[in-house]
Structures are given as structure tokens and as C-alpha cells.
Amino acid sequence: MKRKPFAGALALLASAAFFVSLAPAGAQRDEQPPPDNGRPEAPPAQQVEQPSRTAPDYGPETARATIAAARRYADIAAKDGWPHIAALVTPESKGHLIAALRRRLAIEGYLSREDGKRDEWDDTLSDALRRFQAHVGLAQTGAVSRETLRELNVPPATRARKLAATAARLARMRFRFGDRYVVVNIPAASVEAVEKDEAVKRYTAVVGGRRHPSPQVVAKIVSIDINPTWTVPASIIKKELAPKLKRNPHYFERENIRILDARGHEVDPLKLRRMSSKRAASFTFRQEPGPKNSLGSIRVFMPNNHAVFMHDTPHKNLFDKDYRFLSHGCVRVEGVYDLASWLLQDTGDWDASRLKDEEERGRTEKIGLRRPVPVAWVYMTGWATDDGPAHFRRDIYDLDKGTKLPAQNGAGVAHS
């Protein structure tokens, strides 16, 4: 029996669609003339990852595409959804299990209508699984792991809500897309460098955890800081460093952290052991450059009201983890030397090798960008770049709660 269509439109989504529709496509693009510096542009630095003509996850059309995708997935939900896969499926599984898996993937668009009707395992099915895994942020194995099974069984209505929530957030961003810009997708823990509507570089990132979330922010990158000092925020002093003052004052010497009073005079940590957390936060705790500095060797500086930025880290092993929501709000970037050299293309001959040479000299240096680069930190738990299957990530900060299903398309979605 066919379910009744979902009634009503999501007010938040309708608002997002309204504001996006006020301007023609690309109206928020911040076009700037190329620099005239009297010399040819420096060649691009060696890339950590170079997609081949890949559309960026966040571009001028993402909000519109995500609104449309939310309605497509709502249509799927209204038409009885997709099959629930009851168990792990392997090439040796019985035909009806493989048939259910194929139909599930075909409904979302990973297989054609005809391929969705078959009941054997083949390379076409493995390839479809790899594309599905890529879209939900899993290792692209082409096999049904427990994590893959869990994602396959997420209901289409839940997917539609994620897309609707993301579309509403994007409509509020008011980001002016430049010819070159940087995007941090917080739920995906990833960074993109975008040039002429192409994601030319992608990097793995570590972002804020649940207790210290990374904010949604729009700013401009103005400098690359080599061997930066780190002034510890008051919140971290109160919660983490003040207790260390009482337990182990020698921690600060070991970690190369100096404590300064209001006049800039250094204070012996032993003299602050009995001080309250609130009083301790009135002092400046500054970590000097070096191998233990929490910012690593490079900071990508982007002035903003949240006092967050992107940076290197001495803890490179964190990039290998599946769960990378581990920072205090800033974004740690794997391949930050490569990102920095890309940002500095218009500023001088700053490739990754030269940046490392400067870092090894040990001096703190600020390299101002000749032309600031726009940057957006966005919270996209579901997003679309075209009319195919959408992309999804975990709602790590629980920002999607309360989102209702969007209005359906009039034509609906044809099932295979």
C-alpha cells in the first residue's frame, strides 16, 4: 500500500530556497582581476591530492543543488523508500540478498534501472558500492562492511532532513565566492582549495570535538605564519592549564609555555599554584615555537570573531584516524605546507620546500598574502553537487535536530 505523501513544506528550507533564489547563479561570486606583478605566476606546488576536474563540495550552486536533492530524497521516502538490507552481503550470498542490495543502490542512483533488477554479484555492483562508500565518507572497498551496511539502511527521510538542514545553513552563509577560495567542511573533516570552480586540492583535517566545536565562519586568509607562537585561549587556561598549575608546575617548562603578567613580565609557575582558575586566566600563557608547539610549524591566519584558524600539528598520527573531531575548535590540516604554497602563489616563489627551509631557520615570520583568499567553514551533513546521489556525513554536533521533511517534487522519483 502506498504511503500518503508527506504534507507541508519545511519552513526553514523554504526560507533557504527563497534567499538563494533572490540572486542569479554566481551572483555572490567575488570576481577580482588577476594580479599584475610583472612576472609569470609561480608554478603550482606539488599537490597532496589532485582531483581531475572535480566540482567543489561547496560552490555557488551547492545550496540550490542541495535543496533539489532534499526534495528528491523526500520523494523516495514517500514512495516506500528503499529495501532494508537485513544482513551483510557478499559475493557468495543468496540471490535475494544481492537483489535487494542492487535495488537499494539503484533507487538512490548508483546503479541503472536494469542493473538494479539483477541478482548476482559482479564488478558493476562492486563499483557502485565504492561510489556509495565515497559519498558517505567510508573506505572505498567495494564490499559490504558493518559500517557500509549501517549507512545503506539509513532511511531516505533521514537523508532528506540532512539535506534540508544543510541547505538552510548554506543560505545563511553569505559567502562571496572568489576565483580562488578555501572551504572547510566540518562534518567531513576535510579542506578544499578551489580555483576557477574546480577543487584542485583536497586535504584531510582534524576539526573541533563535541565539547569544543568548530564554528561556521566566513573570513579571508591574510597571512601564512611560520614558526608561530600560540597564545592559549582563556577557556583552555581555566579548564586545562590552571589544574596543571596545581598538580605539576614543571609541565609548563617541559611544554615550552611561558606565563606573562599584564606588563609582559614572565612569571614563575610555582608562584601561581594556589591561584584560582579565573585568576590564572588573567595571565597570558604563550607557547613558544618549537617541536611541541600545538600549532606545529605553520598557521594559516584568517582574522575572525571566533579567533579560530587553520594550522599544522605535531601530532600527525591523528590524520590517520577515522574519528577526527579532536581539536579545540581550530582546524589542523594534513599537507598544510602544500596548502600554504597554493595560497601564496600570487605572493612569491613560496613552494613547500622553501617554506620548510624557513621553518628550519627557527625564526617566527609572517608572510602576508598579496591578495587575501576567501575562506568558509561550513557544516554540511548532506550536500549535492548535481542531480545524482548526494553526499552525507555524521551530524557530529547534533545541529540537524528538529528539521522536518521538505516539500516533495510534483513529478516524484521513478523507482527501478
Task: Provide the strand spans (E) within 348-387.
Answer: 365-378, 382-383
Q: Coil, strand, or helix at residue 196?
A: coil
Q: How many residues does the chain have?
A: 416
Which residues participate in catalysis according to the annotation?
311, 330
Which residues fall within 8 angstroms of residue 285, CB to CB, at 6 or more apart?
A: 231, 232, 237, 241, 252, 257, 258, 259, 260
- In whole angstroms, give the CA distance from residue 334 to residue 328: 17
Provide φ and ψ at 82, rounded to 5°. -130, 165
Angstrom CA distances, 121 to 103, 131, 138, stand at 12, 16, 21
- In whole angstroms, give the CA distance from residue 375 to residue 368: 16
- In whole angstroms, give the CA distance from residue 152 to residue 81: 12
State the cell numbers at 403: 528539521
Provide φ and ψ at 239, rounded to 5°. -85, -30
3-state helix, strand, coil in the chain (%, to 5): 30, 20, 50
In the chain the first and final C-alpha atoms are separated, in Å, by: 18
